[in-house]
Structure formats: C-alpha cells, structure tokens
Structure 1
C-alpha cells in the first residue's frame, strides 16, 4: 500500500520562491571595499531572475558548471540560486587553494563560466589560459582597484544584469536528484576530490539549520556567515537563512577580526558561524564591543578548544555551538546543544560537554567501528574507533569516481577518517584524525586532546601536536606552540601545565615555539605542513620523562 501524498521534488526553486514571496522586506547587507551596500530580498530576487537569463545569454549548457571565485557577498548569493534554479551546477572555487589545484579543480569540473570578484582578479587571471573549458569570465566589481583585463572573454557583471530581461514565472526542477552544487575537498593528500550535492540533499540539509537543537534559525534572526561561501556551501547557512527569512549580513573581503567584530556589533547579529581560528583572532576584542545580541556562535571545521569556548562564555555569555562534519557530509553531521541529562551538571562539567562535537542531527546515522577490522565499538565513552556516516546528504562517491571506493564501505557508509569516542547518549568526542594519531609503544595518543589542554594555558594562542620518530617508542608527541603577543613561555612551563591534566606517557617529548600554526585552505591546522617541517626532528633532551602510568619508561 502506498501513501497518498503529493510527489513534489525537494528542490532549490522552493527556497527561492519562499524567500521572494514571504520575506521580500528582509535585508541583505554586504561589506565591500567602499563601505556597505544593502538590498531587500525582493530586490535581490529580481537580480536572481535577471542572472538566470544571463546564463542563457552566455550559452551555458543545460547542466553546465558555473564557477564562482568570490567572497561572501549578496551577489555571490545571487549565483547560489540562479545557477541551480536553472538546472546548472554551482561550483564554488576555493580561493585559498594552490594555483595548480585551482586549475585542476576547474578543469576537472569542466567549468564553462567563472564569476570573479574584482579584488580576486590578481589571483585568478594568471591562471585563465590554463582553464580548458572556461569560455567567459564575469567580473563582479566589489570596489577594489585591481585592473580588469581587456579580453573578449571578460564581461562586467552589472552590465550583463542591466541588459538582461528578468526570468518570468516559476523556476522548476523536475528531478530532485539533479545536481545543484559541487565543492572539492581541500586536497591535503593528492588532488582535491569533487563532492556533488543534489537539490534533494541541499534542501534537507538546509532544514537542519532550523531545528531547535541546533542553530535554530528563525525569521527573527540576523545572521552573519563568516564561514566562506566557497567552503561546503557555507555550512548550509545561505540556504537556511533564505528558508527561515532571516536578515543577512555578509562580510565581503575584509575578514579581519576587527571587521567581523564591528559588523556583529553594528548590525546586532544574533547568529554567526566560522572556524575556531576566526574566533581565536577576535577573542582579544570582545571587551571592546557590545555583542549582547548574539545568541549562537556556530563553530566547526576543527575541534573547538574548550578554553576558547569558555572564554567567550565568560566574556559575552555565549559559548561556542560546536558542530562537526566535512565536505562529504554537506557538512553538518552533528551539533552539540545541552540536553536534559546535562541539567544536573556543574558549569565546569557542562563546559566538558560543550567541547564535544555533539549528537547526530536528525536523518544522519553514525556508527563507531574499529578502522582495521570494521567491528562495532561500544558507546561507553572509553572505546575509540572511526566514525562512519550515512544519510540523505552524505556523499555516496566522488565525482568521476576519483579516489575509488577507499573512503566508502561495502555497505555504503562514508569513512570519515575521524577517530572518536561516543557516550551512551550518542555525543561524539573526536579524539583525532586517523592519520594524525600518535602510536607510542603500541598505545594511541590523541593529538586533539593534547592540543586542547595546551591551549587552555593562558599564555598560549594556538597549539598543534604531531608525531615525531622515536627509536624505542616508534612515535612520540611534539608540541608546536604559538605564544600570545607580549607573553613569554618556556617548554618546561608547558609540560608543567600538562602534568596534572594528561597521562604521564602523553607528555610531549619536546616543545617547539612557532610564529603561527600553518592552516589549510579551509582554516584547519595543517599538520601535514608541520610534519614536513619537523620530519627529521631529533629530541636531544626530552622535555619530560616518557613514563607510563603503569611504570613503563
């Protein structure tokens, strides 16, 4: 027996028309090189309709890939809807990839057009002759002074829109499994791999940003997505905001902590989101700004240090809303909000809970398995294993089959590469990446836990822990530490800070002080870079004895 419900596709035209019809009075503010611009959602929607016919004028194929090389702006948001609502595929190019990776990604996706912010032309234009399928480059003038090339392939965004007739009627996507957008992984090993999001997966994922035990976006919110729109669709926030009817504030090219703090204060932002490094940079400015309107700071991309979250809670009353995921999970897979079982806990114990990555959001299934044998591991918060994920917005394979099936199990689950423990309520505690674990004398040391404890030192700005070779224990931890400006710190002080907090055999054999922890293209710590830098590291004199709790020396 079948249900008797209407069979209507879950597709992004619904998101567009809902915003246009119900929330035309709401605003979209963009910060750019000349100040700020503001449009209503109704005005934005008319521009989307004009852009839809521009894509036809440019003769973009019915399912052609529309590349963007742009900051978080209202005009980038126009492309977010115009491309997929006309059946094309939005392809956000990560502006922080290495040039050879950008060329690879654009050619692999077969981008036909690329929309480029003028401020980014110096990065993009030197590569254009290597882009095999790009026929048009459309320059979005964001007020920067970068020279615009005199080339027949180059067009002005505003001139194209002004000459276009707005698309009339309703956008239609017949098959919800049609590709809507694609993002490439950051390519820390090998070439980046393409993840293709469907209309169905994108709509379902966007709904998750509205749930109460999550970001809980509503029409009353003012949202500032700091997470780049070129990274995993800005965690679904642009589409979620359009569904909910929030006001949007978009930071444009100025991503400095001061600029972000000013926007948060001036526009009375209620919800924001970005990677931990953003909030680390802004922490010294908290006392200088009125951020009382903030109710949620969504934070993910890498583990959120408990000390950072607690610093925000103490300064402005709002801790981090920890989330976990990856490009292959669209990316939200878990969110960490306190539940009824946490009500009896002390504030310190609640801080420990908030430092977890949280519980799987609805429609996402997670399992914990031994990465070598595939055997299920208990949810007892002691046993660790690889987290594997399944759900309607979890990748089933990579574009063109790149990377083979290595990251997917025989029964269709995604191997995330993250090692975690899970408590009996299903709350994740990420221990490490499988490739970043340190195996010392046959026992595992989680670098993430060590990093969090080091970063709880009041003089530490950042810390990353990697494995270095050891003649007896095979691998030992090396702590790479960034000291806060104006402070001094010794290796002995770092070890003394750790001694009451971790097992003795976890204590790093050495501490190296560095100017900054290198970052990947999406703002995560690049331990690959640190491993290359310290690959031949030799410990002359251990900073602390490597003695286990059971007396092993």
Structure 2
C-alpha cells in the first residue's frame, strides 16, 4: 500500500534563516574582533542584515547560481554571508586563507567567482592572487580592522541603504548552496558543491543527541574556521536550534581561546587536534586560571587525535573530548566516537573507544576494502581503505574532476586506511599516501605518533617514510618536545618497544622545533618525506 501524498516542502537553508527570526530572535552572536574587543548581535539582526545583503548583491547583478567568494575570518558578517547568499539562490564559496596565493588564484578562477567579500586585514593576501582571479568583477571589503578607504566597496556602506526585508525565492532543494575546495596536498584543489538539501539533512543529523546534540541553551564556539569544510556545519546547526554562537575572529592561540571560553561560558567547542594540544598544554601549566565548568563537549576532528590528549583533558581537567571524523567531501560529518549504551568496557577499552574515529552517524554507510576492492571483515584487525556513501556525501567533484575517487556502485574512496571493529567503531591507521610499507608489511604512522605523544616529554610527533636500500621504506619520527622537557632517542624507542613489533620502531628520531602543517592544521608529512627521504640511504643508523 502506498502512503498518502505529503506536502512538497523544499529542504533549504532559507528555512533556518526564517526560523532564526521567528523563534530565536534574541539569541546572541558574539564576535571577537582583531583588537580583542567583542561585538554582539542577535539572530534578529542576522535576518535583517542577510536581507540587506541579498538586496545589495541583487543590485550588483548577482543571480541564481553565481558564486560569491569569501576571504574572511570567523565573525558575524561571515555568518550573514553563510545564510544570505544561499537563501537568495546564489552560492557562497569560502576561500581558505591559509592556502598559498597561487592555489587561491587557481580556486577562485576555477570556481568562476563573480564577487569577492574580503576582510580588510586580508586584502594583502587577496592582492597576491588578484591577477589570477580575473573572473572577480566586484570586491566588497569588510572593515574588520579599520575603515575601508578606496580598497573596494565598503560592506557596511553597501548594506546601509537597503530594505530590511527581502522576498527570498522558493528554491529547488537540490540547487547549489555552498562551494568548498579541498586543500590540494596532491594535485590541484578540488571543489565540492553542496546542495541545500544535503546541508539541511546534514544539519538535522548533526543536531541529534547521538551526534553533536545542539539545543537552544548551548553556547557554541566554532574554533574550526568557517573557510574549512563549511566549519563542519556548526553555523547551520547552531542557527537551526537557536544556540548562541561565539566566533573567535583571527585569534586562535590557546590563551585567547581559553579566555573566550571562560568569558562567554561556552558549552560546546570544536577544532583540530593541534588547537587542542596547545590548549591542553596551557591548562596543564595553569590549571586554575580558567573556569570551564560550563563546557559539556569538545569535539576534535580533522585528523586522528592521540589518546593521551583525550585522556589528559578528562583525567586532569574533567573535560570530555569527543572524537569525530569527516572530510570536505562528506559535508563533513561522517562518524562520531560516542560511547554507545550497552558496551561493557574497562577503563583502557573505554579510552581506546573514545580515541577511535567512532561509528557512522545516521544515513552514512561505511565499509573498508582491500587491495582487490572487496569489503573486509569488521574484526578490528583487517586494514583497508575506508569508503562511505550517504545523502550528503559528494558523488563527484565540481567540474567532474577526480572520477577515480568514486566507485561505480556509489561509494566515495576516502583515502583513509582504517580498521572497523565488531561494534562498528572505525579507527584510522593511516592515510593511504602516508602508510609505511617496510619489507612488504604495513606500518601505521598514526599508531606510532599516538604512542610517542603519550610520553610526558613529547608535545607533538609525526611519523613518516624514508627510503631504505634493503626494506624499501622505514619509519622516521619528527618530535617536538614540551618546553623545559628532555628525552633521548633511545628513551623514546624504549617507550615504544613494549607496544609494537620491533620492525615497527622508527629507525631515527629527529628533534625539531615545529612540525610543518597543512592549511587545515594537519601534519604535512609530504614535506618531511621530501626533506628526509634519503636520510637512511646516506647515513644508515648503526
């Protein structure tokens, strides 16, 4: 029997914008400015200014489907663009300000951006790639650190004369809403085009209790940049539920973030492991300085977080860290490491589960496959490449590039090498390009890194492959020590020996001041490989 007909109601971002005004008009949006003062607005202001923005862009000739690029930090005006541009039918395209100017020029040109909205403090960066981005017809400048004087259209002056109400059109839910590009560590960056429907479905699942669990009483700090993978969907999830939003601006150092968390009584924060490593180190140094008793959850994603980090927050500061996994191509939430009811775990197993990347959220399917592309058993031991599918997972890249990343039966090849246990918890053992193959055997760089970072003297560690005349590849470790701490190579190898087979142990430990990172804060192992690739062939260890 067929069900009765249901109302044809499009799933669009416009609903979130209208809901914000109707039910959550007084909810606050707090921005930390470059001068460290705070600006405050409400969701009613958000709707009013998004309407003005839509009028202004329409007057400038922006039409449905046109790309409006942003080169901005996390602040309230960037949030206006997140809502106002898609609601009018155009596409907001977030440019990653940490990329090289040549990459930014390529991305803006490839996306055919018509309008660019840029923070005044980031104008010097824009000028470095402006010649490449000839498609940009209008530049609108947000005066984040001072008045706009002849550098482009003034954002505030542009919005000022416009009406407070815009008749937002009824949109097709499959129309494009946002465009994000991968960081392009191999080859050119690739674009992922999100539809209204995919963003709405992602938002609804993200707000579930078993995902991020937002509610209107939350105070949400988006440490993850709004120019990175749609800020993990946090702005839309917060607006959908009426949660108060705190935006850090350009100040992402540990002290500034801790000050902001304590001052605004933040309940939820999310960012990459490198951010939390710095925060934990500062909390350990000054355990009584910040009152974080309001914090109910901190989500870590972007790359695998060491168990020592998760345990350190909980054991020493009573703060719960939840691991999550996703990619630009997954909109981005894919899995989350909540402890499911009914699991019978001792303390060690509980930490191991919290440190996993978790199990798939609703409507995401996961599997891992071997070299023959056949699915592997969920036994917690078999390593293979993770593949996912779902209603907000990309089925192609913008411009139909990278076809080899998508299977004929509808799965996306993530490039992550993982195991999946019998309860469905997924653990990343490596990126496919980072896994070390020594004498025909795989060595997980992530497992070695996590173990090294459990040593009390180690702040950060990156393990990578170097060429070897006999074994093909051998692991090397780049280590950053904590300030005032000391450890020898032999001591660190001895720390690893009880946990790993002998052939897994790094042939060399390199003590460095800092580990190079990608634009999203992940360890840039390709640079380490390039720098030290021949170390063992030139100077084999004794």
TM-score by length of 1: 0.95
Structure 1 residue 397 corresponds to structure 2 residue 396: yes
Alignment partners' CA distance in 1, 2:490 and 2:210: 42
For 1:25-424, what aligned pairs fall within 5 Å after superposition?
Answer: 25-34=26-35, 35-144=37-146, 150=150, 154-169=152-167, 171-286=168-283, 287=287, 288-342=289-343, 344-370=344-370, 372-403=371-402, 405-424=403-422
Contact 1:69 1:120 in 2 (8 A): yes
- Cα deviation 1:317-355 (Å, max 9, x = unaligned): 12321000110001100001001233x322222111101
C-alpha deviation, 1:165, in angstroms:
1.8
Query: For the structure 1 residues 18 and 436, does the alpha-carbon distance in structure 2 shift closer, same or farther, using more than 3 Å as the test?
Result: same
Distance across 2 between alignment mates of 1:430 and 1:299: 14
Is the 8 Å Cα contact of residues 379 and 423 (structure 1) preserved in structure 2? yes
SS at match of 1:482: strand
Q: Do the aligned residues in 1 keep the contact of 2:296 with 2:320 (CA within 8 Å)? A: no
Work out the CA distance in 2 between the residues paired with 1:164 and 1:412: 45
Residue 363 of structure 1, CA deviation: 0.4
Aligned counterparts of 2:420 and 2:212: Cα–Cα separation in 1? 22
Once the 2 structures are TM-superposed, how far is the Cα of residue 542 of structure 1 from its aligned partner?
A: 3.4
- Counterpart CA distance in 2 for 1:442 and 1:465 is 18
Q: More deviation in 43-52 or 352-361?
A: 43-52
How many angstroms does 1:45 deviate by? 1.3
Whole-angstrom CA distance in 2 between matches of 1:3 and 1:484: 64
Number of aligned residue pairs? 535
CA contact (8 A) 1:140 1:156 kept: yes
Q: CA shift at 1:311, angstroms?
A: 0.8
> Is the 8 Å Cα contact of residues 89 and 171 (structure 2) preserved in structure 1?
no
Moved more, 114-123 or 449-458: 114-123
Helix, strand or coil for the counterpart of 2:178? strand
CA deviations on 1:136-176 (whole Å, 9 max, x unpaired) are 1111111258xx5635xx1001101112123334x234311
SS of the equivalent of 1:388 reads: strand
Question: What residue ranges of structure 1 are gaps of 5+ in the alignment?
Answer: 544-553
Relative to structure 1, the CA distance from residue 126 to residue 470 in structure 2 (aligned partners, 3 Å threshold; closer, same or farther) is: closer
Deviation, 1:2, is 5.0
Structure 1 position 489 matched with structure 2 position 468: no
8 A Cα contact 2:52 2:166, kept in partner? no
| Secondary structure of the structure 1 residue equivalent to 2:131 | helix
1:531: which partner in 2? Answer: 529
What do residues 451-505 of structure 1 show as CA deviations (whole Å, max 9, x unaligned)? 0000101111110001111122111110111111111221111101101121211
Q: Is the 8 A contact 1:385 1:421 kept in 2?
A: yes
1:24 aligned onto 2:25:
yes
1:513 deviates by: 0.9
Does structure 1 conserve the Cα–Cα contact (< 8 Å) formed by 2:106 and 2:132? no
C-alpha separation between the residues in 1 aligned to 2:165 and 2:191?
A: 30
What residue in structure 1 maps to residue 465 of structure 2?
467
- How far is 1:33 from its partner? 2.0
CA distance, structure 1, for counterparts of residue 189 and residue 234 of structure 2: 23
Once the two structures are superposed, residues 81-112 of structure 1 have per-residue CA deviations (whole angstroms, 9 ceiling, x without a partner) of 11100000000000011111000000000101
SS at match of 2:54: helix
In structure 2, distance between residues paired with 1:33 and 1:408: 42
Q: Is the 8 A contact 1:261 1:285 kept in 2?
A: no
Offset from partner CA, 1:511-534 (integer Å, 9 cap, x none): 111111111011111111111111
Contact 1:292 1:316 in 2 (8 A): no
- Which secondary structure state, in structure 1, belongs to the residue aligned with residue 368 of structure 2? strand
1:211 deviates by: 1.1
Trace 1:472-551 onto structure 2 (pairs within 5 A): 472-538=470-536, 540=539, 542=541
CA–CA separation in structure 2 for the residues paired with 1:323 and 1:21: 32
Query: Does the 8 Å contact 1:33/1:144 carry over to 2?
Result: no
Q: CA deviation at 1:209?
A: 1.9
Q: Is the 8 A contact 1:386 1:420 kept in 2?
A: yes
The TM-score with structure 2 as length reference comes to 0.97
Q: Equivalent of 1:429, from 427, 430, 434? A: 427
Q: Deviations over 1:413-438 (max 9, x none)?
A: 10001111111111101111111111
Structure 2 unaligned regions, length at least 5: none
Q: How much does 1:19 deviate? A: 1.0
Secondary structure in 2 matching 1:119: helix
Q: Could you tell me how far 1:270 is from its partner in structure 2?
A: 0.3
